[in-house]
Each structure stands twice: as C-alpha cells, then as structure tokens.
Structure 1
Amino acid sequence: MVFTIPNLISFVRLLGVPLFLYLLLGPEADGAAVVVLAIGGTTDWVDGYVARRLGQVSRLGELLDPAVDRLYILATLIALTIRDVVPWQFTAALLAREVVLLGCLALLRRQGYGPLPVHYVGKTATFIILAAFPVLLLAEASAGAAPIAFPIGWALAWWGLVLYWVAAALYVAQVATLLRAAPGRAVNDKNPRTTNPL
C-alpha cells in the first residue's frame, strides 16, 4: 500500500527538505530553518515506529524512510557548507562514505543481490548527525546560544561521523563475506528488510 499513515509521515518529512533549503539559502531565516530541521531530524524514528505499531510496514516505506534521511543529511550538509557553518573537510568525509556505499551496491547488483538490511549502527549515526545539524545552525543563528550549542553540535557531528564510517566498514565486510560465500546467487526476495544501507 502507498497511502498508509507511516508513508504519509515520510512524505511530510520529505517536504521539509526544500522548505529548509529555501529558508536557509533564500531569506536566510535561520531561526525558522532550525525549527524545520529539528522537526525533520527528530521525527526520523516516528514513521518506522508507527508502521510497526499499526502493522503497516511496506516496501515503499522501507525505501522511503532511509531515502528521506539521506536527503536531509545531504541537503543540510551542502547548505551548511555553502553558509560556512560546516567546513568542506567534514562534508567531504560524509560524501566519501556515500561513494563507498554506492560502490558496494553496484557490486551487489552485478552479482544479482539486492541491498542489505539497515544496520543499527548506521541508523544511530544518522539520528546523531540529524540532531547535530540543527544544533550547529542554532549556534550560528544565536550568539547567546553559541557558547553551549557550538561544542554540543560539533561533539554530536564528530560522533555521528565516526559511527557513520563504522557502519560503512560493517557494510563493506558484510558485502565481502556475502560475495565470497555465494557469488552470483540472488538475495531471497522474501526478505522483508532489504533496503538502502545507512
């Protein structure tokens, strides 16, 4: 099913991405951008929780939820880099991780496999990074909040980055083990957790 409550929540979260970019890069309404980003990031778990509680887990939802998370991270990362809130080195480190995962996915598809399940380490890293960005933006937008928000934001950001790469290393190891064990054999289509890695 497409029109389920958790899928609608994901679509609403998705609409926050262009709204955030407009607020941050257009009128530079940083306060409103912080609110949009905070809501989009902290509600990351809501759609999955609702889907499990209502028994409305769907293939679309399994693909849409991590896709929205990834869009939030990439859009926010690029916007904050343009605004000089985040240094380009941090942005490059996150983008390099995405390149590694895309390479893994290409290898899996070449051998007839689908994407592997989301690892809890990657999900945790995503949540931490999505929490770090609004705190960093708050530090930029408010001189009064900066002394507290700046160190907290960067502590979360670096912690999330490290976990992000740990999750990537685990994913690479899983891919290598899978391809060595049974090259050319497709993933069982009945596996309900095949989805994009995070």
Structure 2
Amino acid sequence: MVQDAERTTDDTTSGGRDNPGPGRPDPGIARIREAAAGVWADPWWTLPNLLSVIRLAGVPLFLWLLLGPQADLLALLVLVVSGITDWLDGKLARWLNQYSRIGELLDPAADRLYIIATLVAFVLRDVVPWWVAAALVLRDLVLTVCLPVLRWHGYEPPDVHYLGKAATFCLMYAFPLLLLVQEPFPFADVARPIAYAFTCWGGALYLWAGILYLGQVVVAVRQARAKPV
C-alpha cells in the first residue's frame, strides 16, 4: 500500500489542499523539495549503486547490438550480465548495509529501460507486434506521470507489488528466449512456444500490475483530498 510520507505541523495543513498565506511557501512544493533533499542526502558512491549504473550503461550497448550488427548472442550476453548484476546489487546492499534512496530508484529504472529497449528492437525487427510493445510502454509512461502526483500529495511511490515482480521475472525470461529463437539452433522449435508463453504471461501480468498501481494512486489522492483543511 502507498506509504504516507506526509508531515504535518501545528500551522501547516495537509492533503494537497493547503492554502498558504502571504509570503508562505506552497506546502506541496515544500514536500517535493523535502523528498528531493532526502534523495540527495543519501550515500551515492556505494557498490550496489555502481552495479546499477553499470546496468544502465549497458542499455544503449544492448540496443545497438540488437539493431546495428544484430548480434543477438552478444546482446543476450549483455542481458544475462544485467540480470546477474541486478541480483548481486540487492545482495550486496543487504550484506554491506548500503541501502540508499537513489539505489531504490536506479534498480527499477534499469529494469524498465531494458524492457523498453528490448520492445523497441523487437518491434523494429518484427519479433513482436507493435501494439503489444505500445501497451507495455504506455503502462510505464502512465505510472511515471503518477509519481510527481503522489509526491505533490505527500506520498511515497507505491511498494513493488508481487504481481509486478512476477511480470518482470516472466519478461526477463521471455526476452532471452525470443532472442535465442531468432538464431538457428537445434532446440529452437522447443524454445519458441516457451518464449511466446513467457511473453504472454509476462505482458498480461505487467499490465495488470500497472492497473493495481494506478488504483493505489487514485485511492491515495482521494484520501489526501478528503482530509480536512
């Protein structure tokens, strides 16, 4: 559920309907600045964050390998390395106690960028229909727009839902398999239906998780507006 990060004081009302007096800053803007200050105050140069930055740097390389030389096996290697670093940065954050807000933002951002880059390449190479990619990309765009709305009303972004994790898991398995079946190899006929099954399951779960996140945002905004001034 969306966590209420709103802070109230004796002389400041809450819920996004504040009416600041003359010379008093808008409380909504103050809350956004407060959240941004918290991100910048976090430790940046940590080993988990470095791995997340490496994952992000691999996105343009991955896209170039798919669209330029169409070196699918090398692109698959980049995707595998990304998956390993994704698992490793979470483990290191727990082992070294190096949690940070910027790390929490970088990790899902890398996942989303890999998904979007893969979908763009697959559409351009006629691997998946354009409307499938458009639906998944639109889902991410809508949720991205919701984040500043939540901040404005004093809420943190929603926690990652288990359906969202399952959807990302399915898509991260589907994409390598889809890359494999583009190359001639002995088990391509066996891998092809598995690849498209993971794509269908992952895509459906991805959209459903997006609807659940959007519902959480709507409930949070309504609760904020319903609070007395």
Give your verdict on TM over 0.5.
Answer: yes
Opposite residue 184 of structure 2, the aligned amino acid is S
| Residues 122 and 164 in structure 1, CA contact (< 8 A), matched pair in contact too | yes
| Residues 136 and 153 in structure 1, CA contact (< 8 A), matched pair in contact too | yes
Highest RCO, 1 vs 2 (Cα 8 Å, sep ≥ 6): 2
| Residues 41 and 131 in structure 1, CA contact (< 8 A), matched pair in contact too | no
Opposite residue 171 of structure 1, the aligned amino acid is Y
Aligned residue pairs total 185
Distance 1:131 1:44, change over 3 A: farther
- What's the CA shift for 1:172? 1.6
- What's the CA shift for 1:125? 1.2
Give the match for residue 142 of structure 1: 184
Give the match for residue 19 of structure 2: none
Report whether the alignment pairs 1:123 with 2:165. yes
Report whether the alignment pairs 1:95 with 2:164. no
Q: Deviations over 1:120-172 (max 9, x none)?
A: 22122112212211110100123433212211111111111111122112112
- What's the CA shift for 1:184? 8.2
| Residues 139 and 149 in structure 1, CA contact (< 8 A), matched pair in contact too | yes
Q: 62, 66, 72: which one pairs with 2:104?
A: 62
| Residues 51 and 85 in structure 2, CA contact (< 8 A), matched pair in contact too | no
Give the match for residue 214 of structure 2: 172
Q: Deviations over 1:60-97 (max 9, x none)?
A: 10010011111111111101111111221211221221
Opposite residue 55 of structure 2, the aligned amino acid is R
Higher Cα Rg, which structure:
2
C-alpha distance in 1, partners of 2:157/2:226? 14
Q: 69, 76, 79: which one pairs with 2:118?
A: 76
| Residues 41 and 127 in structure 1, CA contact (< 8 A), matched pair in contact too | no
- What's the CA shift for 1:104? 2.8
Relative to the length of structure 2, the TM-score reads 0.73
- What's the CA shift for 1:41? 3.4
Give the match for residue 78 of structure 2: 36
Give the match for residue 147 of structure 2: 105
- What's the CA shift for 1:46? 2.5
Alignment root-mean-square deviation, CA? 2.0
- What's the CA shift for 1:54? 1.6
Opposite residue 118 of structure 2, the aligned amino acid is T
Give the match for residue 16 of structure 1: 58
Gaps of 5+ in 1: 186-198
| Residues 161 and 209 in structure 2, CA contact (< 8 A), matched pair in contact too | yes
| Residues 125 and 164 in structure 1, CA contact (< 8 A), matched pair in contact too | yes
